[in-house]
Structure 1
């Protein structure tokens, strides 16, 4: 069974009134010491560009750094989604042993989401900002030259056309592995990682589908509430003594509608994107696992070839030793990235689930407050009789 992070659950049961402090308490545990960091990147200021052939959105990338690799202390460039896609492909190509953070999906279902709407653009901006921050926090990826070019080049197209030859030796070797070698079996620790990722993606996929159904039902309920409330208001015009209580009920339902809309928006804009990012993250990790398997399979095949002709060549050839080095490099990098990913996942899901609890508590508090507000009015009418 998949064990979700259990950190962050407050001891004891707090009163509903204290719900808004949950995230504040949580944030104290997750603050990063900014003094130890030397690279800061943000994504903001989305702008729509309408051209003859296409319409697209660009985002401002602001970089501040004290690293020697940067000629200036601060840069500001504009990038579109396909530039982020270029960066990710270059990172995969030049750093094959490392886990590359996923990008938000490029395509949306036609007619369901307007990719130029303010809500969609803001959701994507947040995802792209997180993508770059993941790279910035990585001890290897953040020093990649392609990443440097992405952050600093005024004209990225010039680099995209010429193509920078920055493949590492490991990268070149992995790139040329054709997959013709067949791995007998994964080492137990990597087999366990593969099984975990399969279960993890399955669980999140199920949560994602159910959450989407809940959101759909909430939207349908919201439509009914917006029709339901005004009926009491129009009814009040026909009633003398009941006019004030009926207007009160109408206003109460209106307040509940607003609270439900806020809850639904939060699930759509904050909850679902995190689930989908981690589903894509598991796919990225599986991809690195497959590359590791290919390199190990190549190493095993070379060892077998040497064993068959060991009488002629008693010494292990240099190419076999290099292949062994690649396997060890893959294993070390993959385990380190997996540990880093697990730490990020625990923090992200703790904050996500605490936020989900907090938003639901706020929703029910607002509904409770709305209904309680009309009780004195109804009691007055009853006493008046």
Structure 2
């Protein structure tokens, strides 16, 4: 049986942070029957800068990486630009998950299937955080649950883990 994985990047949403600076985030949805993913379906939101972070981390493998849409200071909130960027980010992720070397990287899974920050992902990958208990808890939930529904629990678990280690 062929395993099927579909990843989409859609619904760009522009908003302002606490400093009243505008940014856009993108909805990543993945549907997969590939056992490499711990949830068969999930949806998260990521900023362009987080995609750049993922690409920089994966560059360290020495493997060839797909291109990403370029950063721009002009037209960055233009609808046509945002749609084009969604398509480019989707091609980037689709290419990443097709290569076993990248599919084996925990950063890819945490990026696509959790709301963890890039710093938290780094902490988990480096071993500074233990994520196994949280991952087990997420697996016990209804496996079609969106990661957005488990985020609060994941965040609480990470906070508890950090407190235990201090």
Pairwise same-fold verdict (TM > 0.5): yes
In structure 1, C-alpha distance between the alignment counterparts of 2:125 and 2:100, rounded to whole Å? 21
In structure 2, C-alpha distance between the alignment counterparts of 1:160 and 1:73, rounded to whole Å? 20
Q: Deviations over 1:118-162 (max 9, x none)?
A: 111111111111111111222322232111111111222452462
Q: 2:26 aligns with which of 59, 67, 91?
A: 59
Look up the match of 1:47. Answer: 13
Look up the match of 2:39. Answer: 72
In structure 1, C-alpha distance between the alignment counterparts of 2:81 and 2:26, rounded to whole Å? 13
| Preserved CA contact (<8 Å) 2:68 2:89 | yes
Which TM-score applies when normalising by structure 1? 0.31
Q: 1:135 aligns with which of 76, 86, 96?
A: 96
| Preserved CA contact (<8 Å) 2:10 2:26 | yes
Q: Radius of gyration: which is bigger?
A: 1
SS of the equivalent of 1:36 reads: coil
Greater strand fraction, Structure 1 or Structure 2: 2
SS of the equivalent of 1:140 reads: helix
Look up the match of 2:68. Answer: 103
In structure 1, C-alpha distance between the alignment counterparts of 2:3 and 2:101, rounded to whole Å? 14
Structure 1 unmatched runs, 5+: 1-34, 167-385
Look up the match of 2:58. Answer: 91
Go from structure 1 to structure 2 and tell me whether the alpha carbon gap of 1:135 and 1:161 turns closer, same or farther (over 3 Å shift): closer
| Preserved CA contact (<8 Å) 2:8 2:28 | yes
In structure 2, C-alpha distance between the alignment counterparts of 1:55 and 1:71, rounded to whole Å? 33
1:74 deviation in Å?
0.6
Q: Deviations over 1:11-53 (max 9, x none)?
A: xxxxxxxxxxxxxxxxxxxxxxxx7343221111111112242
Look up the match of 1:124. Answer: 85
Which TM-score applies when normalising by structure 2? 0.67
1:71 deviation in Å?
2.4
In structure 2, C-alpha distance between the alignment counterparts of 1:128 and 1:46, rounded to whole Å? 11
Look up the match of 2:131. Answer: none
Q: Give every structure 1 segment of 4 or more consecutive aligned residues whose post-TM-superposition deviation is greater than 6 Å.
A: none
SS of the equivalent of 2:125 reads: coil
| Preserved CA contact (<8 Å) 1:135 1:141 | yes
| Preserved CA contact (<8 Å) 1:149 1:156 | no
Go from structure 1 to structure 2 and tell me whether the alpha carbon gap of 1:163 and 1:85 turns closer, same or farther (over 3 Å shift): farther
Structure 2 unmatched runs, 5+: 128-166
CA RMSD, 1 decimal: 2.1
| Preserved CA contact (<8 Å) 1:50 1:56 | yes
1:107 deviation in Å?
2.8
Look up the match of 1:360. Answer: none
Greater helix fraction, Structure 1 or Structure 2: 1
Look up the match of 1:159. Answer: 120
